[in-house]
Structure formats: C-alpha cells, structure tokens
Structure 1
Amino acid sequence: MSSAPEPAQAQLPAVAPQQGALPSLAPMLKQTMPAVVNISVTMSAQGPANSPFGPFMDDPMFRRFFGIPDQQPEREAQSIGSGVIVDAANGYVITNNHVVDKADTIKVRLNDDREFDAELIGKDPDTDIAVLKIKADDLVALPMADSEQLQVGDFVVAIGSPFGLRQTVTSGIVSGLSRQTGISEGGYEDFIQTDASINPGNSGGALVNLRGELVGIPSNILSRSGGNIGIGFAIPTNLAKNVMNQLIEHGSVQRGRIGVTGQNLTPELAKAFDLESTRGALVTQVLPDSPADKAGLKAEDIITAINGKSVRDFSELRNQVGLLRVGDTVELAVIRSGKKQTVKVKIGASEEVVATGQALSPRLEGAEFGPPSDAARQAGIEKGAMIKSIDPRSPAARTGLREGDIIIAVNRRAVADVADLQARLKEAGDGELLLHVRRGPGALFLLIQ
C-alpha cells in the first residue's frame, strides 16, 4: 500500500544535500538573502538625546511647570531596520511603517554593500506597512507566497538586521496564525506568530518558507525585557501585498466598512442567544444608511463567516472587512433568531482624513483630523473631530494635543464632526480657543491663546 505524498512545502529541493553532504539551508539562503536589505533613517528630534524626564518632556504642562522652553533644540536621531525587495524591475521595497515613520531621509543598503537613497511611496500605520522605491540595477526580489497556505508547525526562517547586525538568519516554526495582540491600538492585526528569533532591527525584514518564498514581514515581539523570548509576530504576505498594491496605486489605503458596531460573544451571551459556540461577532448596532443597513443586517445578528472564512470575534470581523476592496460584494453567514442565513453586503469606504490642521487654523498646524475611529465608536464616541496623526514638532503638538484626541467642543460649543470644528475655529478667529477633548477613557480642557 503506497503512502500519500508529502505536502510540497515539506520537500526541500533547494536544500537537498548532495551525496555525502549534510542537510543545509545555505543553498536557499544564497538565493534569498540578496533580496533582504538594511534600512537606515535619519530624523529630526527635539530635546537632549538622554533627557532624565523621558516621555514627560512631551507633555507641555510638565515643561511649563519646570520652566522648560516649549521649543527644544533639534538633534538628529537615527534608526535602523530591515526591508525586502519584492519587485526588482520597479525597485519596490516593503518594510514596516514604524521603521520609516517621521524619517527625513531613508537609505537602503543592499547585500552587496551598494547604498541608495529611497523614495517613500506610501505608509499605512494601521497595518504597519510601508513601501519604498530605489533606482538600482541587478536587484533580486523575493517571490511572495500565499500566506493562507501556512500551517502551524511549518518551518520558517527570519532574515534581517537585529541590533544592526546585517544579514542575520534565525530559524523556527509557525507557532500560531491570525494572532491579534493589541500592540497597535486600533490597527488591523492578523499576525503570524513564530519562535524564529526576532529582535530590534529585524522589523521590516523577511520571514520565508523553506522554498525561499516570502510568507511574512517581521513586525514586533512580546517581551518584558525588550529581547526575544520566542514570541515574535510577522505580517502575512497576503495582507502586506494588499496594502502594498493600494499604496503604489493610490499613495494611501482605502479601508472597507459595512457600518456595524459589535462585541465578542461571551459564554453567557452565547447561552442567552441559544448558541453552541462563542465564535462569531455579535452586532450591537447597524448605522443608518450604511451598507449593512441597506443589506438588511440587524442588531442581535451573529456574523459567523465572510465569504466562507470563519469569523472568530468582532475584532476579526473588523480586520477582514477593513482589508477588503471598496465596492466588493461579500457574503456574510449570519445567525438570526437561531436560524442560519446569508446576507450579501457591498463594501463601502471608511471615512478618510478630511482636513489638515493648517487648513483649519495656524495654531493646529501639523495635525490631521477625521471622524472618530471604529474603536472610539464602539466606546460610544460617535461625534467629534479626531486627530489621526500629529507631528510632535508642530504648533498643534505644542498646544498639548495628541494623536487619538477627539475634540468634542470649542469655546463651549459642541463639535459633531470636522466641518463643525472648522466652523467653530472660524467663529473664534484669532481669539482664544477653549478645546474640550476626549482622551482615552477621560476628558480634559486645553486653552490655546
């Protein structure tokens, strides 16, 4: 009786030993390592390099209490990470957003020691993906594998520059799939977990299978000490490729939405809804005139799958919907009043940043405003103007505003959205501004004169 053939990934043509030779990953790595690059960035930073006050220096009230000037002298800071060439013809390099975020200059050094200035094509903080472009000949690119085919237990190799040690290779297995860590609050997480060592500097490098195909982009670790303890996370290539294509095409990522808020199923809720499992996303609210509303979704529906792919909880629903193309029609598996049914929904576009601080008021220059995020809406904050990003060296930052703040009133007049904020600022003119701000679970007032 013949045995079934092993999966293709278990066969190692690139590493098969010659007669009398020892098994080795070296032949595969010789082909893949030229595609993994070292990335160095320089950025301007304020204040002394080793301030004893640490992060408190970012708080304007702290600086004023101790008489520290708001405008700190600028210094040049450096950061080192990794990247992967994925398109040799066009010179496209994938890395992590946190490697190049706020960079003034970006340089890419190849395996053969050639160094090039890199152009930032686009970045997406929510998935921690950025795309660079270099102009160089004789580049080597890694093929991108279908990360949906990964299984727990598959062997993988991480390549990068941990602690600045270029072209370092570590090996391990896939320890888990579809991990959501909460490290990137409000982000879209669908991590590959691996015990292949990932350390500072590995970020943006390559996680490859034994055929030398890219399966993930190392992004972060869980560690109390800051060093590797065998729990590392990589962004799967299917997610990275989706984001990369949108960044190249549009310069930004257009998020999908269906217009629901919801929560995870607890054992108690599952029992109340007469369900056998806690898997699924419980819809708590359907936003009026949203794609979900038009498709007939209702509060108390339990969404269990999207296009046949099971949904574990509400976070996974948000991730899957947010990464779909706007305009696509998807089929949702729904349990309603104990009965299974399917609902087809056309994916709509999330509301994007609609105004810059500079366009609203010179005093808010350096900030970008948009509607409250999905996470804020789930927390009950549906109105206001949210700061989507802020330059820490800008006038807006010096007022005490932070990324994630939601302005809900100006001069004691409510702010429902960005248009309202613009109107309130116009009314105030050059006079003082009393901003009522929601920050996390609390709130505060900021006076800008």
Structure 2
Amino acid sequence: MRPPLLATAALAACLAAVSPAPVFAQAPMRDAPTSFAPLARQLLPAVVNVQTTTTVQARAGRPDAPEVPQAPPGSPFEEFFRDFLERNRPPGGPGGRQGPGGQGGPQQPRRAQSLGSGFIIDAAQGIIVTNNHVIDGADEINVVLTDNTTIKAELVGADQRTDIAVLRIRTDHPLTAVDFGNSDEANVGDWVLAIGNPFGLGGSVTAGIVSARGRDIRQGLYDDFIQTDAAINRGNSGGPLFNLDGKVVGINTAIYSPSGGSIGIGFSIPSNLARNIVAQLRDGGQVRRGWLGVNIQQVTDEIAESLGLRNGARGALVARAQEDGPAAKGGIRNGDVVLRFNNQDVREMRNLPRIVAETAVGTQVPVVVWRDGKEETVTITLGELPPEQQTADARPGQPRPQANQALELSGLGLKVSPITPEARERFSIRPDARGVLVTDVIPNGAAAERDLRPGDLILEVQQERVNTPQEMQARLEALRRQNRATALVLVENAQGRRFVPLRLRGEGRGGSPG
C-alpha cells in the first residue's frame, strides 16, 4: 500500500515544517573527578573528632547495675559489653557488696562519654566549629586531630537555636584550617563530600550530591537545611560538608533514619547561616538576633483570595503586631502580609523569622506589605530578640456597648453572641477580652471545616473590628454584595490568634435569634 505511506510521510514533513521539534538547551555538566582522594587528603587534617565527658547519675532503681565500658555509641561493642555484664553481674552489686536489707549501696554518679565531629576554621587561634548538641552539658571537651593528638578544648560559645557551637584549643601543634564557602551556590545535583567521625571509627569520607535545598525538619524557627545523600551517621554531627572546591557549604547536623543508620537522607546547616552565628559566638560568646515583634501565619490560597493578593499565596500574614514591638512602632498592622523584608522576598511564612534573625539589631529596614489591596512600604528599626521570648498579652481598649441578641449566621454553620458575664465564666474568657463569642458550631458547616469551636472569639471580619453579632452579620452581608467568595476572620482562643478564611455560603441576609 505505497500511496498511504507516501501520504503519511508527506503529512509528517508538513507538520515538521509547521511545528519544529523543540530544542532544549543542554546545561553545562561538571564531571565528577576520577577520584576524590586528592581533595580528601587536603581536607582531612582540618576535621577533628570531638570527645565529651559528662557526669550522670546511675539509673534509678538500678544501684547495682554495672558500668558499661564506654564503647563508641552505636558500635557493636556497646551492645556486647552490656550483654556480658548483665549476665555476669554479682547478686549484691559491684564487688558483691550489699546494702541494708540486701539492697545495693547508694547510687554513684558515673562518667559518660560521647563522640562527634568538628572542623578547624582558624589555625592560628585554634577555633573549631561543631554542633551544640555534641557538647551540650559536657564537663570536659577534648579534640582529637587526624594524627591522634588529643588536646583539651574550651567552649567559646554555643547557640541552641541553630545548634552551632564554637570551641578553642591552645596548642603549638601545627593545625590545618578550612574556609566557609557560599552555600547559596550549592545547587541540587552538585557533588559534596562529608567528613566526620561516624560511630567513633575516626576520620571517614563519604561522597554524594545535594539532594534538596531549604528543608524544614521541624527543629526550630530557622530551619533551612541542605539535604544530601552523602552517608551521615551517628558521630558525624558537627562535621563539614564540602563542595568540590574544598569549601565548607554545610555543617552536618541530623539524619532521617528509622534504624539510626544512614539511609541517604542527611541534613546540613547552610554555611551562609552558620558564618554569621560563628562570627558572633567568637566575638562575644552569644548571638544577638533581630526581632520584629509579630505573630505570623501562613498565607493560604483562600487567604490570598480574601485579601485580593495577586500572584497567589505568598508572604507571611501578620496575625498580631505585638504592642510596643518594632513592627507596631514602625506601622505594621494586624492583617498585613509581609512580602519583602530588607529587600529580600518572603516566599512563605517560615522564611521571615530567619531573614529577620540574620539582620543586625538596630538596623532600619524597608518592609513591603500588602494592605487594603495594594503594596505599601514601611520602615522598621529592628529590635533584639529577647533570650526567652514570651507571647505578649493583648491589652485592647474598652469594648463598645454590645447588643444582647445572639445570631445564627446564615451559610456559615455558626452561632455567635455577645460576651456575657456567664460566657466569661463558662469559657474562661479574660476580663478585658472583646469581640464576638462563638457559642455553637454546626457539624460539616463552613466554620466546622476551619475548626472553629464554642468559646472562640471573633475579633475582626476582613480586617475590620467587630464587637457585636450584628456588626459581624452586617460585615458578612457587605462581602456577599461584593461577590466575595470568602471572609477573612481573626479568631482568638487559648492557643493564640489566627486568621481563618470562611467560605460564604447561602444568600440569606440575616440570622435568626438564638
């Protein structure tokens, strides 16, 4: 059947002429080295083992428990020694001695050891960087160099929030140092080397790639981890993650593992975050962080729609600007969405605390917020984050006179009422609280979908204060007349304040008395 084949070929040629095949630009490839050995030889002398000793009490209820020799944590010897001593424990405790009534003597404290890693960043001053959790609570810290030289170390400073610590050793022994690199240039797919002290075995080198960036592993407000598949195990904590230029782009800190061993999911603190923390610890032994004084929440698609925010959900929604805080003094209001801070984009809520914390205390910074359907810029003078930040109590002014009528809000599955003395006692509402009280939530309604509950207070509707059920009802009706799909309400309960987008259902213009 020759003609159909010719016709098909001709048609294909025509289609090719009309729609040429897409041409994809090939990204330049950086070949992996034939061997990592030259780089490893260069870097290994700068990586140290960190050994700590801590005094701990004997296990409660086991005064006769023999002391397990301190094998490296996680090593096969640890379990071996424990099993051996349990089988051979004398009936009266160590040495067979018994206390009154056949019980062992008083519990004696024992010395526990742990192992980690670190790296030298200043050979002349003997400055070493490691993780805070490696040295936390230690009575004694020793550093072991690659030639097995052991040197006593002193703690210069530690920061629990980012899990970074700085040590100093004083020695005439020649030291090798490494430099921090630019972690922002570490792209997904780049080769990296991890060097450390896994399971107390000594200096070990593993290779892998950057698997992901910006990981939040729920360790704190400043999570921005580099994820790598370079093998990281117990004892690697505090060790460096190197790029192929021999620069430190991360501090190996955590792994995800159901078994305790590496499954190729490790996390490193980016060097650009660590560099500032290390510099402050070296200078003063503590870290001063910028403080904005806001409670924030994530901007969802529905919240973005409620606020008329263009280009989708982004930024950090200010649920509350704390009184007398830098934000409130600078003009930031409840309901603002922070889009840019100090010329850096705030892509999502968790970006803002890190950007603020990295900004120097006392700096005047421009802040771009979304307010009343448009962008506005305010200038904030950054404060210092208190050592133990407490949530500021609200001290609103006197409430307006309230009507006594309760209402069922049409289409929301919600019944609200004024805050009466009886309600204050029933729901433990503080004396100075104001707003509209949620008294009943209908299952499967719009309010139930957003987890509103009896006892919650509704303070604002679409960023306007409401003090009575009638005010709230009128505000909702106005939004329906504007064909708004959702209403953004500010809710307060014992857990704090949060903005909640409620779907506006139904066309009713009022509620029925409750």
- Provide closer, same or farther for how the CA distance between residues 178 and 50 of structure 1 changes in structure 2, counting only shifts above 3 A: farther
Percent identity of the aligned residues? 45
Q: 1:37 aligns with which of 30, 48, 52?
A: 48
- Provide closer, same or farther for how the CA distance between residues 116 and 162 of structure 1 changes in structure 2, counting only shifts above 3 A: same
Q: Give the structure 2 partner of residue 260 of structure 1.
A: 294
Aligned: 1:342 with 2:361 = no
142-151 or 202-211, which deviates more: 142-151
Number of corresponding residues = 332
Distance 1:150 1:174 in 2: 7
> Counterparts in 2 of 1:264-275, with a 5 A limit?
264-275=298-309
Q: Give the structure 1 partner of residue 239 of structure 2.
A: 205
Which structure would you say has the larger Rg?
2
Structure 1 residue 279: deviation in Å?
2.0
Structure 1 residue 6: deviation in Å?
5.1
Aligned: 1:73 with 2:92 = no
Distance 1:267 1:73 in 2: 59
TM-score by length of 2: 0.60
Q: Give the structure 1 partner of residue 260 of structure 2.
A: 226
Q: Give the structure 1 partner of residue 143 of structure 2.
A: 108
Q: Give the structure 2 partner of residue 144 of structure 1.
A: 180
The one-character-per-residue Cα deviations of 1:202-233 (angstroms, maximum 9, x if unpaired) are 00001000111100000001222222222111
- Which SS does the other structure have where 2:335 is aligned? coil
Aligned: 1:216 with 2:227 = no
Q: 2:156 aligns with which of 110, 117, 121?
A: 121
Q: Give the structure 2 partner of residue 163 of structure 1.
A: 199
Q: Give the structure 1 partner of residue 215 of structure 2.
A: 179
Structure 1 residue 382: deviation in Å?
8.0
CA contact (8 A) 1:155 1:171 kept: yes
Q: 1:243 aligns with which of 250, 271, 277?
A: 277
Structure 1 residue 342: deviation in Å?
2.6
Distance 2:197 2:62 in 1: 27
CA contact (8 A) 1:263 1:313 kept: no
Distance 2:273 2:62 in 1: 38
Distance 1:280 1:51 in 2: 54
Q: Give the structure 1 partner of residue 57 of structure 2.
A: 46
CA contact (8 A) 2:221 2:350 kept: no
- Provide closer, same or farther for how the CA distance between residues 333 and 371 of structure 1 changes in structure 2, counting only shifts above 3 A: closer
Distance 1:109 1:116 in 2: 6
Q: Give the structure 2 partner of residue 430 of structure 1.
A: none
- Which SS does the other structure have where 1:138 is aligned? coil
CA contact (8 A) 1:154 1:174 kept: yes
Structure 1 residue 187: deviation in Å?
4.6
Distance 2:267 2:202 in 1: 20
Q: 1:310 aligns with which of 345, 348, 365?
A: 345
Q: Give the structure 2 partner of residue 392 of structure 1.
A: none
- The AA in structure 2 aligned to 1:89 is A
The one-character-per-residue Cα deviations of 1:236-269 (angstroms, maximum 9, x if unpaired) are 1111111111111111111210111110112221
Distance 2:247 2:147 in 1: 21
> Counterparts in 2 of 1:19-30, with a 5 A limit?
23-30=34-41
Distance 1:224 1:123 in 2: 29
Structure 1 residue 158: deviation in Å?
0.6
CA contact (8 A) 2:217 2:223 kept: yes
Q: 2:134 aligns with which of 82, 99, 122?
A: 99
CA contact (8 A) 2:225 2:270 kept: yes
Q: Give the structure 1 partner of residue 81 of structure 2.
A: none
TM-score by length of 1: 0.69
Structure 1 residue 86: deviation in Å?
0.7
- Which SS does the other structure have where 1:239 is aligned? helix
Instruction: Note the aligned Cα RMSD (angstroms).
Output: 2.8
CA contact (8 A) 1:48 1:75 kept: no
Distance 1:189 1:148 in 2: 15
Structure 1 residue 234: deviation in Å?
0.3
- The AA in structure 2 aligned to 1:305 is R
Aligned: 1:319 with 2:354 = yes
Query: Which consecutive residues of structure 2, in runs of 5 or more, have no partner in the other structure?
Result: 1-24, 64-102, 396-493, 496-514
Query: Which consecutive residues of structure 1, in runs of 5 or more, have no partner in the other structure?
Result: 16-22, 53-67, 353-369, 384-439, 442-449
The one-character-per-residue Cα deviations of 1:77-123 (angstroms, maximum 9, x if unpaired) are 11000001011111100000000000000010111211100010011
